[in-house]
């Protein structure tokens, strides 16, 4: 069980890092590399940005639950 939670923790952490880097910030960030800079004037209002926000929140919730589960498992 510990190994499964640890794998989920690492995968969710890497996914969360990747998704946060994809968000367009003030300078565009890594999202420019994947075509995110094309709609920079309407950043945050596109369907892609909204879906990216939702996926990032889901990844953060998974990371949070995995962190709590890992702490509970290691406490024993």
| Cβ atoms within 10 Å of 36's Cβ, excluding its own | 20
**37 belongs to a structural domain:** no
**Percentage above 90 pLDDT, the chain:** 57
- Which pLDDT does position 46 carry in this prediction? 81
73 with 5: CB under 8 angstroms?
yes
Higher pLDDT, 5 or 35: 5
**76 belongs to a structural domain:** yes
**35 belongs to a structural domain:** no
**33 belongs to a structural domain:** no
**71 belongs to a structural domain:** yes
Which structure tokens are listed for 51?
Answer: 């879906």
**56 belongs to a structural domain:** yes
**48 belongs to a structural domain:** yes
Which alpha helices (H) appear in 1-76, and where do they start and end? 2-22, 47-75
**30 belongs to a structural domain:** no
The three-class DSSP label of residue 44 is coil
* Total domain count, the chain: 1
Which structure tokens are listed for 66?
Answer: 């995995």
Tell me: the pLDDT tens digits for 34-61?
665 555 555 556 888 889 999 999 999 9
Q: Does residue 31 have a pLDDT over 90?
A: no
Domain residues for 76? Answer: 1-22+44-76
Nearest to 33 by CA among 44, 45, 21: 21
- Which pLDDT does position 70 carry in this prediction? 94
């Amino acid at each position: 069980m510990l190994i499964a939670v640890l794998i989920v923790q690492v995968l969710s952490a890497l996914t969360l890092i990747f998704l946060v880097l994809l968000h367009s910030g003030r300078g565009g960030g890594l999202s420019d590399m994947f075509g995110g800079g094309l709609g920079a004037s309407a950043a945050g209002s596109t369907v892609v940005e909204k879906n990216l926000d939702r996926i990032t929140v889901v990844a953060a919730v998974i990371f949070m639950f995995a962190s709590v589960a890992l702490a509970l498992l290691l406490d024993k």
